[in-house]
Structure 1
Amino acid sequence: MTDQPPQDQQPPTPPVPPDSPQPGYGYPQAPPPPPQPGYGYPAQPGYGYPAQPPTVVAGDDTRARQNRTIALIILAAVVAIGLIIGSGVWYARSSGEGGGGKPTGGGKNGTGTVTGGKEKAPDNPAADVLFKVPQPKTEETTIGTVGSWLTGGVYAKSGLAEITGYDPADGTKKWTLKLPGPVCAASERVTADGRTGIVYQPSMPSKTEHPGCTQVAALDLKAGTKLWTASVGSGDFATPFQNATIAGNTLAVGGLRGGAAYDIGTGKPVWQPKPGDDCVDVGYGGGTKLVAVRKCGVYDNRTVTIQNVDPTSGKVISEYKMGAGIEYAGIVSTDPLVVGADAGHSAGGGSGVSDYFSIDNRTGKLLARIPVPGDTYDGECDTITRVEECKGVVAGEGRLYLATKEHGGTNEVVAFDLATGKQAGQRAAAGEDRTLFPLRMDGGNLLAYIEPPYDKGGQIVSVDGADFKLTTLMELPADQADRDLQTGLQPEYSEYRYAQGKLFMASPNAGKPLGSFDKKRNLFVAFGTRD
């Protein structure tokens, strides 16, 4: 997570990427994992620890030099709306530096600004519904509407094979960009001049055809235009991608068959999948750094490496090799560098993560491993396809923020020191009949959503990075109709974008209503404070 308003999170049905593998793919029966070490302390060598010391790769070593020449073709099955059809593998990598640093948060100052962050605490945090847009009509069970951006006086949202820009104050349409097919993946990051990237299907899916997510494009969100479109291969041999991110001026896309990167302004390739490689970049994390999740070998005999890459050249700056028992990894943050993984198939509660790994991205050295038992902590990562999609967990300013599981109708957010793996010793309590959900960093502070109880609205709060006190930035309306809007777009499954007193809750997919009770689903809802 970065300090920018996040640009990516659905209603109660989790999104299904068009090119994701079938349920159970990559999850054979495994013997019970060894016991986890105590909370907050480095684990003993075993699952998730490197089989050899971490490697620092010289800046002039490229991925191509590391590749072996064994062809790797992975046939991934269709789930809901997509069919992976393509070929190819990979070629280069990304950059970073990371590490500690103590939080720089504080309390409110005389101007009502939360120190350590950019978000202001208003005199009156009460909010109203600004506008809402219903989900588009479709006969498909599930179809992608991935992508939500709040930037430069525009709120932009993917719809059914289109992206529309709205005035964030009143919902007036500023522009609509038509696409030939649905959006499969979208970077939640935006450049300083309002550019972002998406992956989409070349045509609409039908009962007989399910085109892969093979088209890569850069968008100008201010103008509402597509800057360029690219693909790797063509037709049935085009390479599908399942995730997209931005680092600097580079748009990087990854998938089960490898990754590619482009200059976001010109569309010029920086690297592309290379046939014959037995190692592939399945995905990237962006922001101030570019980090690749790289896999070598085949299932059950695979190695996963986390590589900090120069986004302009693909040269490896440093890398960390994850140990035996780890087949997948998700990126929580690139600066500081934190990844989540399921060591030995031991993750509980559907989180996909048994441990978080704090890595120095200048050297590739493991700083700390943080076990997170599924019966104790919330938060999850998509470690298979959308590797940068970790929700309910945030890293920044030398700390990892996690929510505890609900207990007695409430929960807390706790922090771990990324240098030591130990708990920082402070907790932010949600309050009676409320639960906290971490969203993103705001300078040295954490922004979080408080899910509403039965008789009140939800809240956006700032958790002070120094003393963990909560400051209310937004109080959502409490009447039943407005609470239904909030509970219909829960943060675990939706895209939440908050900045400067405005909150957008959006769905990353649409679908045919399941019944009369399901006919009033919204594509997104916008809330705003009154002052």
Structure 2
Amino acid sequence: MTQPPQPPNEPPQGGFGAPQDPPPGGFGAPTPPPSDGLTKQPPAAPPTPPAGGYGSPPPPPPAGGYGAPQGPPPGQPPQNPAYGYPQAPPPGQPPTQPGYGFPQAPPPGQPPTQPGYGFPQQGYGYPTAPMHPQYAAQQPGGGKKFNTRMQIIVAAVVAVVLIVGGGVIYASSGGDGGDKRTDASSAGPDGGEGKGGEGDGLAGGTEKAPADTKSELGLQLRHPKVTDTTVVDGSWVTDKVYVKTGVYEVVGYDLAKGTKLWSIPLPGQVCAASRHMSKDFRTAIAFQEGKPTAADKYPSCNQIGGLDLATGKLMWNKSVTSDSSGDEPVRFNEVTLSGSTVAAGGTSGGAAFSLADGAELWRPKTDANNCSDRGYAGGEALAVVRRCGDYDDSQLTIQALNPSTGAPISSYNMPAGVDYASIVSTKPLVVAADVGDTAGDGSGISDFFSIDAATGKLIVRISADADKYAAKCGSTEVETCQSLAVGNNKLYVPTEEHEGTGEYGDTNEIVAFDLTTGKLVGGRADAGNDYTITPLRMDGSNVIAYKRPPYDKGGQIVSINGSTFEETVLMVNPDTEKVREAETSFSVDYAEFIYEKGRLFISEKMISEPSKSAAANDRNYLVVSFSTV
């Protein structure tokens, strides 16, 4: 779960550790050439990778890349192959099993399967850098081919070995923090199936594959001019309007034409937005009390507002105080929606409001143990991360709440070594945390916790190796997890990028954990050569996912059957140069991706002033969209 580079510091209201704005142009995206705009062009032949120069893909690696079998020094006897490769058996002994991740032999009478996750593949999107000559000279043969001796060993081993995947489960106890835990690093496919949709293809969801999956470029909005890092978090799609946060406003655009339909002016900048929306297209935002001044460069984010996205109206806005904030209004970091309840939280307190009229419903209770609500997660249910005790000796508790009263339905105490926790899903209740800061990559995830929301008892704890899985959660924010999805009693996560079989690029897969056993279930959804795949959301029992393309293709949207992992293509974006550059200027880690009924909207969550060195023709987009309808 690799943490991308961080952009310039954000204002205090975003919260420590909040996602930062990536550099203009996205990570590794080619710099667009001078042009007259993003116009629809006839398909062009795939470009030949440039020979060199800054930003261009390096040449393919020389023969014998990293991990290839190494030959012995001159005059020396052959050495054992590298760790993980099948080893030659001693004379007279039967062959041993191959190492973890090496292709396994199929059961008798079954066709061979694809190589497992972790098998040597190729690099992501662009050619990998050539190996240092010192090491390249040690590699026998060319590319990924085995030498003759190794081919014989592999053939002998694979022909006779049958590996049965398994998991390692152990139980521990000790108060509320005790748990049954599954080690996801060693848990293997067990062939188990969760409750999913019936039938194949799109039977489990509402999104349908169009007759023609080729999309056309739609809405294109350039960055508004700003002089400092500015939060533009929040985007929604109704039956008629695409809505996006701007600078001191929230704007609605016609779905089909992309024209501006309405604007909701705000006294200050939006600093947080609910990712949820009611059935009648209402949602909530948090925004600053005013615009920056010389005396107050970062106005307090103390206003909560209800938005009617169907009519383009700010229905109400409120602020509250708390026992810990005195007369000062609470400064909010997050806001969410569950049913008709808007819940907002911050470091100094929180409150809940009626979505319809802003009437205050409840505030979190304080006690002698210095307890406070750190933030809420909404959706089908409402849950909170609550901290009690001193900062250096505190206890985090996950509570399922009654949205109308704020009363706890259940409580689960997180284990020692958890300073922050994120709520992945409220129904079922799934929590992510970096226990003891062991993830080591800034992803905020070392373990997932599947909790019974009715009783507060832990169902299973899943150790998610940060070197293998690529989901991500905010450091201090409760409801900012991304690149994962929960449904069918499963947790769907992408693997980290690894070498594929394509000519240049890396690839990855989406796999799933059973939320009752914690084991990896059978099956996976492959990104395909040179693509990387990221789950966006559930669609019934299906998973909607985005495939980020290599340098010469357009991105894709696919629907994945939640049980069989069969993929159905819903959208293929244009591969013309200017359109590719616009699409890949957005980072999957820092942008909002919304796919609804044949339309894909990609938008920034934070923008900043262009650097002085940026070329005049650089195209920095706030939003781009694609459509097959």
Match of 2:409 among 317, 334, 339: 317
Residue identity in the other structure for 1:527:
F
Match of 2:197 among 104, 115, 135: 104
Q: Mark the runs of 5 or more structure 1 residues left unpaired by the alignment.
A: 1-9, 25-37, 55-99, 109-113
**Contact map agreement 2:179 2:460 (CA 8 A) in 1:** no
Provide the rounded CA distance (Å) in 2 between the counterparts of 1:23 and 1:285: 18
Task: Indicate the residue corresponding to 2:354 in structure 1.
Answer: 263
Higher relative contact order (CA 8 A, sep 6+): 1
Task: Indicate the residue corresponding to 1:349 in structure 2.
Answer: 441
1:135 Cα deviation from its structure 2 partner? 1.0
Counterparts in 2 of 1:506 and 1:14: CA distance versus 1, 3 Å? farther
3-state SS of paired residue (1:292)? strand
Residue identity in the other structure for 2:573:
L
RMSD: 2.5
Identity across the alignment (%):
44
Residue identity in the other structure for 2:306:
A
**Contact map agreement 1:289 1:334 (CA 8 A) in 2:** yes
Counterparts in 2 of 1:15 and 1:358: CA distance versus 1, 3 Å? farther
Provide the rounded CA distance (Å) in 2 between the counterparts of 1:400 and 1:377: 12
3-state SS of paired residue (2:524)? strand
Matched, 1:307 2:399: yes
Counterparts in 2 of 1:380 and 1:23: CA distance versus 1, 3 Å? closer
Q: Mark the runs of 5 or more structure 2 residues left unpaired by the alignment.
A: 19-164, 181-192, 500-505
Provide the rounded CA distance (Å) in 1 between the counterparts of 2:6 and 2:425: 26
Counterparts in 2 of 1:217 and 1:319: CA distance versus 1, 3 Å? same
Residue identity in the other structure for 2:486:
A
String of CA shifts for 1:446-468, please: whole Å, max 9, x gaps. 11100011111000101111210
Counterparts in 2 of 1:11 and 1:216: CA distance versus 1, 3 Å? farther
Provide the rounded CA distance (Å) in 1 between the counterparts of 2:276 and 2:569: 25
Task: Indicate the residue corresponding to 1:476 in structure 2.
Answer: 573
3-state SS of paired residue (1:491)? coil
| Aligned pairs (5 A) from 1:335-346 | 335-346=427-438
1:154 Cα deviation from its structure 2 partner? 1.0
Match of 2:316 among 203, 206, 228: 228
Provide the rounded CA distance (Å) in 2 between the counterparts of 1:315 and 1:14: 40
Task: Indicate the residue corresponding to 1:525 in structure 2.
Answer: 624
| Matched positions, count | 455
| Aligned pairs (5 A) from 1:395-434 | 395-408=486-499, 409-434=506-531
1:276 Cα deviation from its structure 2 partner? 5.9
| Aligned pairs (5 A) from 1:364-443 | 364-385=456-477, 387-408=478-499, 409-443=506-540
**Contact map agreement 2:274 2:285 (CA 8 A) in 1:** yes
| Aligned pairs (5 A) from 1:36-47 | 41-42=168-169, 44-45=171-172
More strand by share: 1
Match of 2:600 among 499, 503, 527: 503
Match of 1:516 among 593, 614, 617: 614
String of CA shifts for 1:129-162, please: whole Å, max 9, x gaps. 112111110111x111111001131110000010
Q: TM-score, normalised by structure 2?
A: 0.69
Range with greater deviation from structure 2 (354-363 or 342-351): 342-351
3-state SS of paired residue (1:424)? coil
Residue identity in the other structure for 1:348:
G
| Aligned pairs (5 A) from 1:245-256 | 245-256=336-347
3-state SS of paired residue (2:522)? strand
Provide the rounded CA distance (Å) in 1 between the counterparts of 2:545 and 2:16: 33
**Contact map agreement 1:17 1:242 (CA 8 A) in 2:** no
Matched, 1:448 2:539: no
String of CA shifts for 1:317-355, please: whole Å, max 9, x gaps. 111111111111111111111110010111132211100
Provide the rounded CA distance (Å) in 2 between the counterparts of 1:368 and 1:187: 29
1:15 Cα deviation from its structure 2 partner? 8.8
Provide the rounded CA distance (Å) in 1 between the counterparts of 2:600 and 2:258: 13
3-state SS of paired residue (2:521)? strand
String of CA shifts for 1:430-449, please: whole Å, max 9, x gaps. 11111111111000011110
**Contact map agreement 2:267 2:289 (CA 8 A) in 1:** yes
Task: Indicate the residue corresponding to 1:19 in structure 2.
Answer: 13
